Amino acid sequence: MIITDTHTHLYSEAFEQDQKEMMQRALDAGVERFFVPAIDSTYTQSMLDLEANYPENVFLMMGLHPTHVKENYKEELAHVEEWLSKRKFYAVGEIGIDLYWDQTFLKQQQEAFVHQIRLAKKHQLPIAIHCRESFDEIFEILEQEKGDDLFGIFHCFTGTLEQAHRALSYNMKLGIGGVTTFKNGKIDQFLNQIDLKHIVLETDSPYLAPAPYRGKRNESSYIIKVLEKLSALYGMPEEEIAAITTENSKEIFGI
């Protein structure tokens, strides 16, 4: 059984003390493919180091995270652009809009999102969308940019069934992680109405640990709990869900 974690910050400071052990736990659990989103330029070297240590398993994205869109966002976007032209990445991400923490830079977040979508199109890459309390703003931009060259993953999808269908209409897969195991997560109430061909698995580690680890540091091995939950929701064996969601990830990332 090959499991794919389509969104995991393995280079995070949260893993400084035990990154090697954490990776081994995930590999032992059957997680063989890790897609690693960027945050900003300060993490680029850590990402490259991680890839060098796990060249068969780790696949990097490049992008500017919306919560890191600040006064220097144009320099950060130049960094993204430079690296995308320099070497192979598997997606532009994570990108999007976050109105949960701070709305000060909404205009700049919107500008950065559009700019990075267009970079993804230029390099024929998928995007990994971060959407927090910003569905309307995200959909407005996706509507403007939609087309055959726009595709990717709606990372950490936590919307309604209606919002799920709208996300799918823009050639997106839904990234499903720990939230589906939360008592108040809500998406478990309708997720099995979405065909599995539209679903990929993720952890977003070190964030959003699934039950029973909720509130603790998340790690990629915990994706097993997400797999168990989907197995229950869809009434299908875990092996089958792992296989389908891994195939879906191959369709998106091309590997």
What ranges in 68-205 are assigned the alpha helix state H?
73-86, 106-122, 135-145, 161-169
**How many Å separate Cα 126 from the centre of its chain?**
11
Residue 217 CB burial class (10 angstroms; 0-12, 13-18, ≥19): middle
Q: Mean of the pLDDT values across residues 28-57?
A: 98
What does the mean pLDDT of the chain come to?
A: 97
In the chain, % helix, strand, coil (3-state, to 5) comes to 50, 15, 35
pLDDT of res. 195: 97
Is residue 217 over pLDDT 90?
Answer: yes
Paired residues of 98 in beta bridges: 132
Q: Mean of the pLDDT values across residues 207-228?
A: 97
pLDDT of res. 93: 94
Is residue 185 over pLDDT 90?
Answer: no
Q: Mean of the pLDDT values across residues 231-250?
A: 98
pLDDT of res. 109: 97
Paired residues of 33 in beta bridges: 4
If pLDDT is split at 50, 70 and 90, which confidence band does 102 have?
confident
The pLDDT > 70 percentage for the chain reads: 100
If pLDDT is split at 50, 70 and 90, which confidence band does 142 have?
very high
How far apart CA 140 and CA 136 sit, in angstroms, is 6
pLDDT of res. 79: 98
Q: Mean of the pLDDT values across residues 147-152?
A: 97
Is residue 196 over pLDDT 90?
Answer: yes
Q: Mean of the pLDDT values across residues 152-174?
A: 97
Closest alpha carbon to 64 in 74, 54, 55: 74
